[in-house]
Chains A and B, each alone.
Chain A
Amino acid sequence: MSVGDLVTGTDVAILVYFLTLNSFYALLLILSIPEIWEQTRLAEDDDFQRLMQSDALPPITILVPAYNESATIEASVTAILTLEYRNYEVVVVNDGSKDNTMQQLLHAFDLYEIPRIYPETIATKPLRAVYRSRTRSRLLVLDKENGGKADSLNAAINASRFPLVIAVDADTLIEPDALLRLTRPFLLGREIAAVGGTVRVANNCTVKDGRVTDARVPHRLLPGIQVVEYLRAFLFGRLGWNRLGGNLVISGAFGLFRKDYVMAIGGYRTTSLVEDLDLVVRLHRHLRRQRIRYEMPFIPDPVAWTEVPESTRILSRQRERWHRGLIAAMWEYKGMLFNPRYGRVGILAMPFYTFGEMLAPLVEVLGYAVTALGLAFHMVNVPFALLFMLVAWGYGMLLSIWAVVLEEVSFRRYRRLGDLLRLLLYASLENLGYRQLTVWWRLKAFVSVWKRGHTWGEMVRKGFATTVVTLCVAAGALGAQTVRAAAWTSYDAVDQSDDWRGVGAQVTWRARRGDAVWLAAEAVSRFGRDDGTERLGGVFHPHGRWWLTVEAGTARGPAIVPKNSWEADVTALATRTAALGLGYRRQNYVVGPVDVVMPHVGLQAGRTAWEARIYVSRNPSDRTDLAVFVRATTSLSRRAAGWVGVAVGRESYLVGAPPAQQVQAIETMTGAAGVRYNAARGLTVRVDATGVHSKTILSRWGVGVGVEREL
């Protein structure tokens, strides 16, 4: 392939990407029109006074995490305590601040300590004390050890009394009627899981008593452009997504959530960089899996104001962090991508955020690079390239100005003509420099993720070489004659839990008399966590009528599999067609060991081989369980064999991921079947299907595909 072909191919790919992405933006733009029409109508027509006097208003808990906020905490909390809403409480969490935030709170609100009056449903860093206020009955203050924003929010959720929770940053200014407006979808009777409101830029606005009294567009370029960015993100991006049913982002600074759903998914994830995106994606995943009807709308009229960075240094850090969070979330929940099980979220939203948002900076830079390369090698027509750039930038400008139009025809927060002109100016300038800067910052996020990803990768590689050397020595000692390599992958759709996935490979060295050693490695994913295992095993025939099989394995995590396991089995031929055996397996999980004793019998009857196994297991809670498995394997043709199997009983399963995991005895009924086909040249293909009905959790169905080849 020549450089010319490469440039042309890349150019075409980028053009297709450009057209697809921009067509999607155009779709969002079109969909935002009826949406803003409806929302504006509802916002104007609601008789809020009447609703405020009714019993219908759902009580809300406002969660306010605070870390080193001593300068603003009193004003922020006071402003929140004066919101126009009938039934709400405020839970402020001092997240182990190093300044005197806690003292400020104690003094300003006349706090007194009370015992903890709620169970700790979500695990958090230890609480130091719980306080109530003598002057403000709505206020509850938690003082806890530092654990980050997500941990503070979880602590506040534990303490909250009401069914709806809203997380608010201590430095965010909420409009007095915003809570009331935010509850509109609940009052309109929909099945709401969460609602997002608009976040606007507070820089250059007049703020009095914690309220924005005069909205202005900043004179400085950087915050000014961010006003347009926020308008575009909220007014047309999210409104458009409302119609597509897949709003993936509800701002962490201003979003109302149903507490029972948040608790069902274990609250905010403390390890996530962008806890709001992570929470919303997990909520979608949970609700789709549980087949719960829900909506997560964005409504534009409730407004919260926030300060945006005015320096490129801080802005770059913010954008890099956001993008790192996006990459982490998209990677973490890649199982939802193009997965019809998750409806529009899986089919539309996840691909859009992955390819249209996450990968956009890479494609854009690639586009610039290829164009530069093409220009350098005179393979790109200069006027054409300039025209293309003009169209691309013009389109970006069109989208930004459309956001300004939506603002103008709906809520019109910026009333002055000067502000409007500045908005138009910033919308025009955004694509000339600022956009390229954000691309650069987002690219840095990839570099940062890659560096960290390297560390994750090391875990899989560690110790692998030693094992291979050991195996080669063992194989040599056995006088290995053949080497077979196998690879497999499996997928299980699990009820009420993350799907199980596995991909693995095995190499087997086999000697002529049947002795063999093998090495297997497998990457597994369960309960939303990934882990890896390595297994080393062998089969030895000390005598012609009986043989010994041993296998030992270790885990990489060990998050969702035993940290180590070992197994031994002795089988002897009882007659020419029957064999009896006894196996023992020990699996050392983090939460305790599981021992399994497995007597088994095999019988060859004509073309069919029967096998029956009994599993007697004892789990960490000293419970003994029993399960029986029967399998029949028959040859279907000269090359193909099929098998069916059934199992009934109680089995010990590791349920959940750390820190909340346990070994549970689960009643199961399993049906399984598979086909194995020996193709030409030593290649074998197998396909297996399994269905497990279990009480009360982990019912699943799955398929596995494997290939094996003699090398």
Chain B
Amino acid sequence: MTSRQVLLVVALVQGVLLGALVILIILNRWFRLRRSASVHPRRVTLDNAMRRWAAEGGPLAGVLVGFARLPATLAIDALVGWSARVPGERWRELAAVLEHQWWARLVRANSDSFRWWKRLECARFLSVAATPRDVARLVRLINDRHPAVHVAAVASLERMESAPLTLAALERLPRLASTVQAYYAGMLRRSRPVVIQHLQKRLKRTDDPALPRLAEFAVRLAEPTLRERITALAEHPDPEVRVQVSRGLGHFPHRESVASLTRLVADPTWEVRAQAARSLGMIADPTTLPLLRTTLRDPIWWVRLRAALALMRFGMAGRNALLEAEVGADGEARDTARMILGLPAQALAEFAA
């Protein structure tokens, strides 16, 4: 075959491909239009049936038929959409009935699918319509390797109280990126008793590599029963743990918290000192005012800022301390005090947050 013939073949293939692409575009439009035309009325029918049933004026059978007539993806979308608008008891009734629907069985069966989007469908469905019999399936989905799947599955904790499910999420939590941890933490708050019991045990293991993350989560909960455990970690060798402890103790105005924070505000790690200063401000114990006044001379800008903001929470005494610093001998303390005293109340509130 000569090079000219090769080029001719390539040109021909290109021509065919170009034609095929144009046909694909046209077919795609046509298919979408058809699908939209056939599915939209069914969705409207389902929404009407749901509305009637939610207001206790219509039969559940109509709702079930409506769901069955929609493609599974759209049925799940509708289910998720309605889940926030139907009261809990009635929703549980619907979830229980859905367990026996053929399409819901198919969706449930997808929890083991090797295609992630099928598992995601299942996770989304179970996040709003799981029953106690789905716990094992959900645990598997929470441990799924695809992030979208486990993020969807953990949302089931909003509706289900199950210790194994909560523990599965808690086990996964320290291994997640911070943003996802925050999302998990939001979900786990609803299962507070199990979570607290688990944290009481885990926070005792001081050599646990997951300790910084668990401490962060415990701090987020601001649960008084965890105060002792959190305070006990104030001497932990890992600075990240101490940062979390410093931040968390501000939520617990207790003399032990103050004692720990007094030590932490002199920590060699500046992040710990900054958080400790902030927490001392939150507690606003008058005995700690001289300490914060000293912290105002810290070599790190952020620590000085936190100390100054904390002093503002001590009322007149704190303000006087800042005014003194503003005319004092230490240049850095002077600058910090001047800056904070010059901030309007709104900005102060935002920065202190």
Contacts and interface: CB of A to CB of B under 8 A. Distances in A.
B179 A56 contact: yes
Contacts of A408: 25, 28-29
B18 A188 contact: no
A628 interface: no
A132 B29 CA distance: 49
Among the interface residues A47, A112, A187, A408, which one has the most CB atoms of the partner chain B within 10 A?
A: A47
B24 A405 contact: yes
Nearest to B24: A405
A54 B182 CA distance: 8
B11 A387 contact: yes
A55 B186 contact: yes
A408 B27 CA distance: 11
Contacts of A391: 7, 10-11, 14
Nearest to A121: B301
Interface stretch (A396-404, A466-474, A650-658): A396-404
Contacts of B80: 47
A695 interface: no
B25 A398 contact: no
A137 B183 contact: no
A115 interface: yes
A384 B347 contact: no
Contact of A394 (B14, B24, B32, B121): B14
A580 interface: no
A494 B338 CA distance: 43
Given A56-B183, A114-B344, A384-B7, A47 B177 contact: no
A112 B4 CA distance: 73
Contacts of A85: none
B180 A188 contact: yes
B14 A395 contact: yes
Nearest to A164: B179
Contacts of A137: 346, 350
Interface string B80-105: 10001000000000000000000000
B346 A117 contact: no
Contacts of A190: 147, 177
Given A117-B347, A398-B17, A47 B124 contact: yes
B177 to A, nearest CB: 5
Contacts of A119: 301-302
Interface in A256-312: none
Contact of B22 (A41, A388, A424): A424
A72 to B, nearest CB: 27
Given A45-B148, A405-B25, A189 B176 contact: yes
B39 interface: no
A191 B11 CA distance: 44
A314 interface: no
A404 B28 CA distance: 12
Given A45-B120, A384-B4, A404 B15 contact: no
A91 to B, nearest CB: 14
A404 B24 CA distance: 11
Contacts of B18: 394, 397-398, 401
Nearest to B220: A55
A57 B302 CA distance: 24
Nearest to A388: B7
A315 to B, nearest CB: 27
Given A56-B180, A137-B350, A420 B148 contact: no
Q: Tell me what chain B mostly uses at the interface: helix, strand, loop, or mixed.
A: helix
A55 B339 contact: no
B259 interface: no
A379 to B, nearest CB: 15
A55 B11 CA distance: 55
B21 A398 contact: yes
Interface string A34-49: 0000100110011101
B344 A132 contact: yes
Contact of A187 (B14, B32, B180): B180
B344 to A, nearest CB: 7
Contacts of B24: 405
B342 interface: yes
Given A132-B344, A190-B177, A397-B18, A390 B148 contact: no
B347 A114 contact: yes
Nearest to B146: A188
B61 interface: no
B276 to A, nearest CB: 20
Contacts of B305: 117
Nearest to A117: B339
Interface string A130-142: 0010000100000
A137 B120 CA distance: 39
Nearest to B9: A391
B277 interface: no
A51 interface: yes
A57 B148 CA distance: 15
A58 interface: yes
A186 interface: yes
A543 interface: no
Contacts of A54: 182-183, 186
Nearest to B147: A188
Nearest to B177: A189
B8 interface: yes
A50 B343 CA distance: 36
A50 B151 contact: no
B54 interface: no
B185 A55 contact: yes
Contacts of B176: 189
A58 to B, nearest CB: 5
A477 interface: no
Contact of B124 (A45, A186, A388, A395): A45
Given A54-B183, A401-B21, A409-B28, A394 B151 contact: no
Contact of B147 (A41, A189, A417): A189
A622 to B, nearest CB: 21
In the A-B complex, the 3 residue pairs with the closest CB atoms: A56-B183, A188-B147, A189-B180
26 contacts: A45-B121, A47-B124, A49-B84, A55-B185, A55-B186, A56-B182, A58-B182, A114-B344, A114-B347, A117-B339, A132-B344, A132-B347, A187-B151, A187-B180, A189-B177, A189-B179, A189-B180, A383-B4, A384-B4, A384-B7, A387-B4, A394-B18, A397-B18, A404-B25, A412-B32, A424-B25
Given A47-B152, A115-B343, A117-B305, 16 more contacts: A45-B117, A45-B148, A47-B80, A55-B185, A56-B180, A56-B182, A115-B338, A115-B339, A192-B177, A383-B4, A391-B14, A394-B15, A395-B14, A417-B29, A424-B22, A424-B25
Interface of A: 38, 41-42, 45-47, 49-51, 54-58, 112, 114-117, 119, 132, 137, 183, 186-192, 381, 383-384, 387-388, 390-391, 394-395, 397-398, 401-402, 404-405, 408-409, 412, 417, 420, 424
Interface of B: 3-4, 7-8, 10-11, 14-15, 17-18, 21-22, 24-25, 28-29, 32, 80, 84, 117, 120-121, 124, 147-148, 151-152, 155, 176-177, 179-180, 182-183, 185-186, 301-302, 305, 338-339, 342-344, 346-347, 350-351
